[in-house]
Amino acid sequence: MVFKDRVSLEAKVAELKKSMPKRKVLVCGGLGCLAKGAQRVFDLLVERLETEKLSWTVEKIEETPHHPVKTGCMGLCEAGPLVMIEPQGILYLRVKPEDVEEIIEETLKKGVIVERLVYQEEKNGRKELWPLMKDVPFYRKQVKVVLRNCGSIDPESLDEYLSRDGYLALAKVITEMSPDDVIGEITKSGLRGRGGGGFPTGRKWQFARVVKADKKYIICNGDEGDPGAFMDRSVMEGDPHSVVEGMAIAGYAIGAQEGYIYVRAEYPLAVRRLKKAIEEARAAGLLGQNILGTSFSFDIIIREGAGAFVCGEETALIASIEGKRGMPNPRPPYPANRGLWGKPTVINNVETLANVPAIILRGAEWFRSFGTLTSPGTKTFALAGKVKNTGLVEVPMGITIRELVFDIGGGIQNDRAFKAVQVGGPSGGCLTEKHLDLPIDYDSLCGAGAIMGSGGLIVLDEDTCIVEVARFFMNFTQNESCGKCVPCREGTKHMLNLLQKVVDGKASMEDVELLEKTAVVVKDASLCGLGKTAPNPVLTTLRYFRDEYVDHVLHRVCPAHVCQAMKEYFIDPEKCRSCGKCARVCPVSCISGRPKVPYVIDQNQCIKCGSCFEACPFDAIVISWRRKNHE
């Protein structure tokens, strides 16, 4: 149906709310669960419920049949495939196709919980069961604003979005608020850009609003370049209409009639779902000409990225949409003045925009009730790395790293020791144990040398080498540096070389000093945010883990046992039968020996290729990690 005015939309929303099936079986359709076989579980549920329905109608047990929906990510990816049963809110983990029968027989028919599929927690030697989703530790401390619909509606259904008050915020905005009112409300809410910079969204809109121009644009930044983050993906895949609605509201506020969503090339599912959402919204009169019978017109075009990290930077993104090489340009002029095709343009992150409808509907005060004074609201994080529960989380700003890693994340895998968290990806930094009680908000993280970034949060344990992590990020930024400005192009290359030397055990302390100096120059002198932040991983690791650099350089020791160059190969004289196989395969001929005498490896020449290790038929080759002399 086409909504001609606000009244008809509101009537439909009210009707949908009543008629939406309350009994639902939700199968998580997030990537994590799909990769673990959620589709089979889903198909089987649909099939079994189809057949069962017949007998039910005879017995008249069900009035509304259970209704399986494939949802977006529910977050606890590690324990997928996840199945939730509403209205009770029961959560089942690691559901296999063979469990479907029991779920139907026990839970759906009799309301009995299948205990073996429920979340279990070991506490003081006692097992605790948490059958309800809201009680599971992973969800207990979370607050869902951005992810309000992710995981609980079918992202491919407009009706389901509408049943959650969808598009009512847009309706309210265009029928009873002036653009200044909208900007005022967003400013009052204190919403800050979730794309990394944390710039106040209301102010950004105001800049673009006051510029006079025949055309303006709003761009949604769905490039999500941080290599280890998937929040924006989950929103685009799990609740695409919220992004569409947020964009339309932003468009109304600044006076734009056209919007672009720029999505990463690696996210084909997000593109498909956004396309569908836009088409459905258009068909319902919620996008296009004269939305809900008002004078406001707005439409959205999707552009797919082509694999370049720098295109997440706003000026580069604009160049990319214009069909050019995605290279950044100096600011000013800011996009709010001269952006896409020279017109005033607002660029906002996916998550920023998904917050907007909620703020409009529930008010700035409500939004400010979460988070801190200077960073109100919530933030989504992609929790990954060496933590027990990995997945998508949304927490109020100001939560401590400890709560995030230990309470929600469940602590470190395999009970290893916590070493650091990497926040903000290649632009961010590593924080240590002493920062565990640091509140997560824009200003605290900045003060510690990291950044909020888009929300990638990777937990590192004692088996992760910090220097190698710094090298990893530098390798990434060096690859992605677009080459336009010298400090970034050359600086990242040199920093990478120096880090490689450290990892290879060939660096001197002067190299480390040079690394630090170069980092400072690149940070100060680069053109865009990529170069300006590329040294952060180096600078924070040098600041908090200097000892580890020193170990690599002075002692040729890798405390985490990661850097191959710090390995040593020995031949166990007891086991060696002097067959000579190792000497024959050694590519640098550094193994010598005679019949009847155990062979020996010349440590100075060994390149640690491992060939001898593989060749020895008697397991006589021993690998050991170098240790500090005094140990």
Residues that bind another protein (CB under 8 A): 31-32, 34-36, 77-78, 224-230, 233, 265-268, 303-309, 320-327, 341, 382-386, 390-392, 422, 425, 456, 458, 460, 464, 469, 472-473, 476, 482
Tell me the closest approach of the beta carbon of residue 318 to another protein, in angstroms. 11
- Name which of 228 and 377 has its Cβ closer to ligand FES: 228
Residue nearest to ligand FES (CB): 228
- Name which of 210 and 265 has its Cβ closer to another protein: 265
Of 4-12, 60-68, 109-117, 221-229, which segment contacts ligand FMN by CB under 6 A?
A: 221-229
- Name which of 101 and 266 has its Cβ closer to another protein: 266
Give kind and range of the element (H or E) at residue 368: helix 364-368
> Is 528 near ligand FMN (CB under 6 A)?
yes
For residue 207, what are the contacts with CB-CB under 8 A and spacing of at least 6?
334, 336, 337
> Is 424 near ligand FES (CB under 6 A)?
no
Question: How many CB atoms within 10 Å of residue 622?
Answer: 13
CA separation for the pair 258, 134 (Å, rounded): 40
- Name which of 303 and 368 has its Cβ closer to another protein: 303
> Is 199 near ligand FMN (CB under 6 A)?
yes
> Is 487 near ligand FMN (CB under 6 A)?
no
Determine whether 176 is exposed, middle or buried from the number of CB atoms within 10 Å of its CB (0-12, 13-18, 19+): exposed
> Is 529 near ligand FMN (CB under 6 A)?
yes
Tell me the closest approach of the beta carbon of residue 71 to ligand FMN, in angstroms. 24
Secondary structure E strands in 96-246 = 119-123, 126-130, 217-222
Tell me the closest approach of the beta carbon of residue 227 to ligand FES, in angstroms. 6
CA dist list (Å): 145 to 32, 131, 369, 377, 379: 22, 23, 12, 8, 9
Closest by CA to 363, choosing from 185, 190, 243, 193, is 185
- Name which of 291 and 383 has its Cβ closer to another protein: 383
- Give per-residue burial for 4-27: e unless 16+ CB within 10 Å, then b: eebebbbebbeebeeebeeebbbb
Sign of the dihedral through C-alpha 348, 384, 531, 476: negative
| Contact criterion met (CB below 8 Å) for 272 and 263 | no
Give strand pairing partners of 262.
221, 303
- Name which of 79 and 284 has its Cβ closer to another protein: 79
**Distance, first Cα to last Cα, the chain:** 76
- Name which of 36 and 379 has its Cβ closer to ligand FMN: 379
> Is 189 near ligand FMN (CB under 6 A)?
no
Upper half-sphere CA count for residue 216 (Cβ side, 13 Å): 27
SS3 327: coil
Tell me the closest approach of the beta carbon of residue 631 to ligand FES, in angstroms. 34
**Interacting partner of 394 out of ligand FES, another protein, ligand FMN, none (Cβ under 5 to 8 A depending on kind):** none
Tell me the closest approach of the beta carbon of residue 106 to another protein, in angstroms. 28
**Interacting partner of 194 out of another protein, ligand FMN, ligand FES, none (Cβ under 5 to 8 A depending on kind):** ligand FMN
Provide DSSP, 242-272: HHHHHHHHHHHHHT-SEEEEEE-TT-HHHHH
Position among 68, 75, 193, 371 found at the interface with ligand FMN (CB under 6 A): 193
- Name which of 199 and 625 has its Cβ closer to ligand FMN: 199
Using CB under 6 A, which residues numbered 246 to 285 contact ligand FMN? none
**Interacting partner of 203 out of another protein, ligand FES, ligand FMN, none (Cβ under 5 to 8 A depending on kind):** none
Position among 348, 375, 422, 526 found at the interface with ligand FMN (CB under 6 A): 348
> Is 491 near ligand FMN (CB under 6 A)?
no
For residue 34, what are the contacts with CB-CB under 8 A and spacing of at least 6?
none
Secondary structure E strands in 323-417 = 345-349, 378-385, 391-396
Using CB under 6 A, which residues numbered 280 to 339 contact ligand FMN? 310, 312-314
Sign of the dihedral through C-alpha 470, 476, 479, 483: negative
Tell me the closest approach of the beta carbon of residue 458 to ligand FES, in angstroms. 8
- Name which of 162 and 347 has its Cβ closer to another protein: 347
CA separation for the pair 359, 241 (Å, rounded): 15
> Is 228 near ligand FES (CB under 6 A)?
yes
Residue owning tokens 């599929």: 117
CA dist list (Å): 168 to 172, 244, 625: 6, 13, 62
Tell me the closest approach of the beta carbon of residue 39 to ligand FES, in angstroms. 19
SS3 451: coil
Q: How many residues bind ligand FMN (CB under 6 A)?
A: 22
Vertex 73: Cα angle to 395 and 239 (nearest 5): 85
CA dist list (Å): 292 to 101, 162, 287, 357, 399: 46, 15, 9, 17, 40
Tell me the closest approach of the beta carbon of residue 228 to ligand FES, in angstroms. 5
Of 60-68, 90-98, 346-354, 539-547, which segment contacts ligand FMN by CB under 6 A?
A: 346-354
| Contact criterion met (CB below 8 Å) for 294 and 173 | no
Tell me the closest approach of the beta carbon of residue 460 to another protein, in angstroms. 6
Torsion angle of the four alpha carbons 261, 17, 53, 90, in this order, in degrees rounded to the nearest 10 = 80
**Site string (224-243) toward ligand FMN, x via CB under 6 A:** xx------------------
Tell me the closest approach of the beta carbon of residue 266 to another protein, in angstroms. 5
Query: Which residue type, as a one-letter code, is found at position 108?
Result: L
- Name which of 167 and 267 has its Cβ closer to another protein: 267
> Is 197 near ligand FMN (CB under 6 A)?
yes
Interface ranges with ligand FMN (CB under 6 A)? 193-197, 199, 221, 223-225, 310, 312-314, 347-349, 352, 454, 528-530
Interface ranges with ligand FES (CB under 6 A)? 227-228
